[in-house]
Amino acid sequence: MFQSICALILAAGKGTRMHSRKPKVLHTILGEPLLGHVAAALRPLFGENVWAVIGHEAQMVRDTFAEHSLRFVEQTEQLGTGHALMVALPELRAAGMKRVLVVNGDTPLITTESMEQFLHEAEGAALSVATLQLAEPGAYGRIVRRDGNLAAIVEAKDFDEVQHGMPTGEINAGIYALDLDVAERLLPRLNNKNKSGEYYITDLVGLAVEDGLPVRGVCCGDDPNLLGINNPVELARSEELRRAAIVESCLASGVVIHAPDSVRIGPDVVVEPGAELYGPCELYGKTHIAAGALVESNCRIEDSRIGAWTIVHSFSCLDHAEVGEDCLVGPFARLRPGAVMENGSHVGNFVEMKKARLGEGAKANHLTYLGDAEIGARTNIGAGTITCNYDGVHKSKTTIGEHAFIGSNTSLVAPVTIGREAVVGAGSVITKEVPEGMLSVARGKQKNFPRRS
């Protein structure tokens, strides 16, 4: 880890070109916000010393990262990237930092390795900039060199061929390394006399050159992973790039993937070699899929664990669920937060679980809702069983012992307990305890009348 060097992510902008209420850095790639990708790449190099400048919808950004150790500085008015650095400077100083790596928050595909490499190449220069050589420089800031040396960065809008020479295709990636002393000296000299009326961080280059300070343009080739995202087209392109890379590395590690082009796996997901996936499917968050597990097509699995030899059949949605070994899930199952399936349990089509535990070998195979429930091992839940856990005000719990049998179309009105080895007759509405080993039938008696003609 680097001493006295910190990272600063510029993330206060609105992202006008995304046409969205959400700030740009909260748009996602493979289920993770752009800012999360950037922070994750920087964390191994800077530990706690990662700051983000936020502003537009700052509270929304804070809430999204409440559980991260990101440090925030607020830029209440977004007057430009140079102004963002100005606002952050006193904080970084107060924390005893001497040098900073500044990264645009809309550059989510940077990696720990690429940043480490850049920092090494930037060593010894007062100010360094990562540059890219593009066939089509688009709206990116243009690098101007004199005698091969970095001389200035000119924004596309402000670029003038007569004044700045023919464009070379070398652009500013929006990644900078600089000494805080240098920043402190140059920032007061920034102005906003440009086409955008903003204080540009990029103008620091020209100012540093003016002062005879050593500046360096570190060319990173045409690495598409260093490109900033400004609109939905670029977001889709970057997401596809990351998606393909993750799937590729899963395949290489020994995961069997059918239709890999349609499989989406988040950066923090672990799929063990020997697991098998069918596309299209989406695996996000902190999901873990054990070796031997099989996930069929059209499933969406988020922050969930799937044990060995479990099969998740098509069209199942899992969110914060825990599924043991040798389980069967779906097709068309919905496991919501707090759903726990112990080893060998089955959940079939159109079954929904929420904050509910299904014991070892227990089965709920058809059309059932299990909410706030504890179900013992080897118990069978008949088709159409509903735990009535909500009375309009409170949520209540249903407890069912081991090896019980709940007949089809039963309503279990919580709070209620069904003892072990009890049997409930089909169509019952159970409002009171059914003691261990008892047979309970709670429904209107059938009466047969002679038919009138």
Just list the catalytic residues. 366
Q: Does 158 bind Ca ion (CB under 5 A)?
A: no
Tell me how far apart the alpha carbons of residues 431 and 288 are, in angstroms, rounded to a whole number: 39
Stretch that binds ligand UD1, among 80-88, 91-99, 298-306, 411-419 (CB under 6 A): 80-88
Task: Please list the residues that pair with 265 across neighbouring strands.
Answer: 283
How many CA atoms does the CB half-sphere of 159 hold within 13 Å?
A: 22
Q: Least distance to ligand UD1 from the beta carbon of 230, Å?
A: 5
Among 49, 202, 385, 440, binds ligand UD1 (CB under 6 A): 202
Q: Does 172 bind ligand UD1 (CB under 6 A)?
A: yes
Stretch that binds ligand UD1, among 79-87, 270-278, 331-339, 412-420 (CB under 6 A): 79-87
Residue 78's binding partner, choosing from Ca ion, ligand UD1, none, with beta-carbon cut-off 5 to 8 A by kind?
A: ligand UD1
Contacts for 269 with CB less than 8 Å, ≥ 6 apart:
283, 284, 285, 286, 287, 288, 289
Residue 155's binding partner, choosing from Ca ion, ligand UD1, none, with beta-carbon cut-off 5 to 8 A by kind?
A: ligand UD1
Among 80, 206, 217, 228, binds Ca ion (CB under 5 A): 228
Tell me how far apart the alpha carbons of residues 300 and 240 are, in angstroms, rounded to a whole number: 18
Residue for token digits 């043991």? 324
For residue 30, CA distances in Å to 34, 36, 187 come to 10, 11, 37
Among 18, 84, 215, 347, binds ligand UD1 (CB under 6 A): 84
The type of residue at 445 is K
Q: Does 104 bind ligand UD1 (CB under 6 A)?
A: yes
> Binding-site residue total for ligand UD1 (CB under 6 A)?
28
Strands (E), 139-169: 142-146, 149-154
Tell me how far apart the alpha carbons of residues 267 and 274 are, in angstroms, rounded to a whole number: 19
Q: Does 174 bind ligand UD1 (CB under 6 A)?
A: yes
Q: Least distance to ligand UD1 from the beta carbon of 172, Å?
A: 4
Residue 80's binding partner, choosing from Ca ion, ligand UD1, none, with beta-carbon cut-off 5 to 8 A by kind?
A: ligand UD1
Q: Least distance to ligand UD1 from the beta carbon of 75, Å?
A: 5
Q: Does 155 bind Ca ion (CB under 5 A)?
A: no
Q: Does 230 bind ligand UD1 (CB under 6 A)?
A: yes
Q: Least distance to Ca ion from the beta carbon of 230, Å?
A: 5
- The 8 Å CB, 24+ separation contacts for 296-302 are 296/330, 296/331, 297/259, 299/330, 302/31
Residue 387's binding partner, choosing from Ca ion, ligand UD1, none, with beta-carbon cut-off 5 to 8 A by kind?
A: none
391 exposure class (CB count in 10 Å sphere: 0-12, 13-18, 19+): exposed
**DSSP states along 167-214:** --SEEEEEEEEEEHHHHHHHGGG----STT----TTHHHHHHHHTT--
Among 32, 57, 106, 155, binds Ca ion (CB under 5 A): 106
Two tokens, residue 187: 């920032």
Short-list 42, 38, 183, 179, CA closest to 116: 42
For residue 289, CA distances in Å to 1, 13, 37, 210, 242 come to 31, 37, 22, 56, 20
Among 49, 75, 345, 428, binds ligand UD1 (CB under 6 A): 75
Closest-by-Cβ residue to ligand UD1 is 141
Stretch that binds ligand UD1, among 103-111, 160-168, 326-334, 357-365 (CB under 6 A): 103-111
Question: What is the DSSP-derived secondary structure letter of residue 393?
Answer: S
Stretch that binds ligand UD1, among 117-125, 166-174, 315-323, 414-422 (CB under 6 A): 166-174
Q: Between 128 and 230, whose beta carbon lies closer to Ca ion?
A: 230
Vertex 97 angle, CA 93 and 101, to 5°: 110
Closest-by-Cβ residue to Ca ion is 228
Q: Does 141 bind ligand UD1 (CB under 6 A)?
A: yes
Site residues, ligand UD1 (CB under 6 A): 10-13, 53, 75, 78-81, 83-84, 104-106, 140-141, 153, 155, 171-174, 200-202, 228, 230
Site residues, Ca ion (CB under 5 A): 106, 228, 230
